[in-house]
Amino acid sequence: MSPGVATALADRLGPGGWLPAGDIAAHLTDFRKVFTGSALGMARPTSTDEVAAAVRICADLGVAITTQGGNTGLSGGAIPSGDRPTVLLSLARMHTIEAVNAARSTITAQAGVTIEALQQEAVAADRLFAPDWGARGSATLGGAIATNAGGINVLRYGNMREQVLGLEVVLADGRIWDGLRALPKDNSGFDLKQLFIAGEGTIGIVTRAVVRMHSLPTAHRTAFAALRSLANLDELFALARSHSPGALSAFELLPEIGVAQVVGRYGIIRPVAAVADWYVLLRFSGADRIGDNLLTMLSTATDAGLVLDAVVAETTAQEDNLWLLRDELTATRSFGGFGVKYDLAVPPDRIAAFLRTASDAVEHISPGSLPYAFGHVGDGNLHFTVLRPGDDATLEADAGDLRAAIDRIVWDFDGTISAEHGLGRELRDRIAGQKPEVELELMRRVKRALDPEGTLNPGVMLPDD
Ligand SMILES: Cc1cc2nc3c(=O)[nH]c(=O)nc-3n(C[C@H](O)[C@H](O)[C@H](O)COP(=O)(O)OP(=O)(O)OC[C@H]3O[C@@H](n4cnc5c(N)ncnc54)[C@H](O)[C@@H]3O)c2cc1C
């Protein structure tokens, strides 16, 4: 079977279209180096027709396909498990931006284009492509759609689901669904594109998309504030929103232990003199006078005793430094060791209470382990990690109990254990505890209807029956 599929794909995809297993080691481990897999080789199509042909070849030979974009996903969904003969299908050579329509504020692009390239293309058209996060230079449009990625601008512009107007998808049997209609209104039956968004490559391969651009804000200002106490978080968020109707575009929580780590690693000057347990990085985007609104808001927050100290970036370099503090928290989040990691969400007004409850549970189950959290708290989204620098063995022994307890707390707070990174291989079994059986059954039926042979991304997202 293996030589057959390799020869057939190499013949069909031409020079550069097929890489043997020995040449793709970097693609078989995920960004965090948590998941490693194996594949027969990597197919590298350049067009939708080539993707469709590759899928037909694999389906005919009973070979599974794992789709990969930039391999920046944080739940292992782009790494084949190796349980079945699998071809890795990379969209890396499909990176053409096909059309930018400034009048309609849309971009049409192939799925392998990066988020950063879309952002730059939008700015060139005096528009904004809003999705933005630390992996922008590698993460692809297709991967972002398949995980419904979000990032720092979700608060104002929504996640990928809100950006996608139309999709083209190669189905599990190799047929192509052209759903690229980019109509603001189209109530002609099921909105099928929504099934593929956050589908993690399990029911189709996204090959092209039409996405929305927004007006480019004429001004944006970023501030960094040291919180007097985590208990003030909610009040500060409410204050920020009331001082900037519609203009609060980011509201991020940063912990001192993470800030100290990034400051040390990159030699950045601390933004404020006050050292607090928690900081907030927030941004107003809109018209020119938003800077005044931000200053007024911060001075009100200081007078009310919500913040100890705050600074507003005056230059682009200062602003970039503030965002570096946030961008690098993901990469430094395990402090080079083992971590029990979460990308969870709870209702935004319950963040502080959740953190208190979860931290108490950590101390009870694994005394001395360190709860560490940061994230898009304006969306209720926390990247919560339990660490034990220098003593991975104890934490690894406690990990099962910690996961069971924290999962339960998240659900007791009406939250989710996957806010924006998807389920992948990491959470697919645990999600069964979050969703009602009827919901799991509907998900399985969708999978069976669209991929009856289980060709696409086996072992990802869906818990076994
Ligand atoms: C430093 C860093 C910071 C991050 N910050 C954020 C953040 O703030 N917010 C956030 O939401 N995410 C964040 N992420 C994770 C984010 O989910 C990924 O960056 C992105 O969504 C995945 O894009 P990718 O092209 O790398 O996909 P991959 O990692 O290659 O794949 C991810 C999943 O999508 C599937 N897939 C990929 N391409 C396709 C396709 N064309 N069709 C169908 N399925 C496909 C894969 O099979 C896999 O299941 C961060 C990641 C990193 C490394």
User: Quick one: which of 327, 282, 294 has its CA closest to 151?
Assistant: 327
Kindly report the CATH number assigned to the domain that includes residue 321. 3.30.70.2190
Q: Looking at the domain assignment, is residue 395 inside a domain?
A: yes
* 143 CA from centroid of ligand 1 (Å): 5
User: How confident is residue 288, by pLDDT bands cut at 50, 70 and 90?
Assistant: confident
| Tokens 């099921």 sit on residue | 190
Query: Residue 460 CA: which ligand 1 atom is closest?
Result: 49
Q: Looking at the domain assignment, is residue 418 inside a domain?
A: no
70 lines ligand 1 (CB under 6 A): yes
* 374 CA from centroid of ligand 1 (Å): 19
Please give the helix or strand (H or E) that residue 107 lies within, else none.
strand 106-110
Query: Residue 145 CA: which ligand 1 atom is closest?
Result: 21
Identify whether residues 158 and 286 lie together within a single domain.
no
CB 340 within 8 A of CB 399: yes
pLDDT more than 70, % of the chain: 98
Identify whether residues 139 and 196 lie together within a single domain.
yes
Partner residues linked to 339 by β-bridges: 387
User: How confident is residue 379, by pLDDT bands cut at 50, 70 and 90?
Assistant: very high
| Tokens 């003593």 sit on residue | 391
For residues 402 and 398, give the distance between their C-alpha atoms in angstroms, rounded to a whole number.
6
- Write out the residue range of the structural domain in which residue 75 sits: 1-216+424-465
Identify whether residues 279 and 306 lie together within a single domain.
yes
Helices (H), 158-289: 160-163, 193-196, 233-242, 256-266
Identify whether residues 132 and 39 lie together within a single domain.
yes
Kindly report the CATH number assigned to the domain that includes residue 408. 3.30.70.2740
Identify whether residues 144 and 19 lie together within a single domain.
yes
Query: Residue 330 CA: which ligand 1 atom is closest?
Result: 1
Q: What would the two tokens of residue 449 be?
A: 């209807």
Q: What would the two tokens of residue 446 be?
A: 């969708």
Residue 348 identity (one-letter amino acid): P
DSSP string, 324-383: HHHHHHHHTTTTTS-EEEEEEE--GGGHHHHHHHHHHHHHHHSTT-EEEEEB-GGGTEEE
459 lines ligand 1 (CB under 6 A): no
Mean pLDDT of 287-300: 90
Identify whether residues 268 and 364 lie together within a single domain.
no
- Write down which residue in 331, 358, 392 finishes a domain: 331
User: Quick one: which of 82, 78, 53 has its CA closest to 66?
Assistant: 78
* 237 CA from centroid of ligand 1 (Å): 28
Identify whether residues 122 and 37 lie together within a single domain.
yes
43 lines ligand 1 (CB under 6 A): no
Please give the helix or strand (H or E) that residue 221 lies within, else none.
strand 219-227
Burial of 367 (0-12, 13-18, 19+ CB in 10 A): exposed
CB 172 within 8 A of CB 451: yes
Mean pLDDT of 45-69: 98
202 lines ligand 1 (CB under 6 A): no
CB atoms within 10 A of CB 173: 15
User: How confident is residue 464, by pLDDT bands cut at 50, 70 and 90?
Assistant: confident
Residue 367's pLDDT is 97
User: How confident is residue 184, by pLDDT bands cut at 50, 70 and 90?
Assistant: confident
Q: Looking at the domain assignment, is residue 417 inside a domain?
A: no
Identify whether residues 44 and 100 lie together within a single domain.
yes
* 271 CA from centroid of ligand 1 (Å): 30
* 407 CA from centroid of ligand 1 (Å): 23
Residue 2's pLDDT is 53
User: Quick one: which of 106, 112, 156 has its CA closest to 131?
Assistant: 156
At residue 14, does pLDDT exceed 80? yes
Q: Looking at the domain assignment, is residue 264 inside a domain?
A: yes
* 138 CA from centroid of ligand 1 (Å): 9
Residue 331's pLDDT is 67
Query: Residue 111 CA: which ligand 1 atom is closest?
Result: 41
Identify whether residues 241 and 278 lie together within a single domain.
yes
| Chain mean pLDDT for the chain | 94
Identify whether residues 38 and 9 lie together within a single domain.
yes
Q: Looking at the domain assignment, is residue 195 inside a domain?
A: yes
Residue 265's pLDDT is 86
Identify whether residues 2 and 116 lie together within a single domain.
yes
205 lines ligand 1 (CB under 6 A): yes
CB 328 within 8 A of CB 265: yes
Mean pLDDT of 31-39: 93
Residue 125's pLDDT is 97
In a mutational test of the pocket of ligand 1, which residue from 140, 153, 425 has the highest number of ligand atoms less than 8 Å from its CB? 140
Task: Indicate the DSSP class of residue 404.
Answer: H
Q: What would the two tokens of residue 285 be?
A: 């985007």
Burial of 138 (0-12, 13-18, 19+ CB in 10 A): middle
Kindly report the CATH number assigned to the domain that includes residue 93. 3.30.465.10
Residue 332's pLDDT is 66
Looking at the structure of the chain, the number of domains it has is 3
* 140 CA from centroid of ligand 1 (Å): 7
User: How confident is residue 465, by pLDDT bands cut at 50, 70 and 90?
Assistant: low
Query: Residue 461 CA: which ligand 1 atom is closest?
Result: 49
Q: Looking at the domain assignment, is residue 158 inside a domain?
A: yes
Burial of 437 (0-12, 13-18, 19+ CB in 10 A): exposed
pLDDT digits (tens, 9 = 90+) for 223-235: 999 999 999 999 9
CA 208 from centre of chain: 19
Q: Over the range 66-93, which residues count as b (16 or more CB within 10 Å of their CB) and which as e?
A: bbbbbbbbbbbbbbbbeeebbbbbbbbb
- Write down which residue in 331, 352, 386 finishes a domain: 331
Give the predicted TM-score (pTM) of the model. Answer: 0.93
Task: Indicate the DSSP class of residue 315.
Answer: S
Query: Residue 114 CA: which ligand 1 atom is closest?
Result: 25
Q: Looking at the domain assignment, is residue 419 inside a domain?
A: no
Q: What would the two tokens of residue 167 be?
A: 């999709």
Q: Looking at the domain assignment, is residue 242 inside a domain?
A: yes
- Write down which residue in 297, 331, 365 finishes a domain: 331
User: How confident is residue 272, by pLDDT bands cut at 50, 70 and 90?
Assistant: very high
Identify whether residues 184 and 195 lie together within a single domain.
yes
111 lines ligand 1 (CB under 6 A): yes
At residue 333, does pLDDT exceed 80? no
Q: Over the range 313-333, which residues count as b (16 or more CB within 10 Å of their CB) and which as e?
A: beeeeebebbbebbbbbbeeb
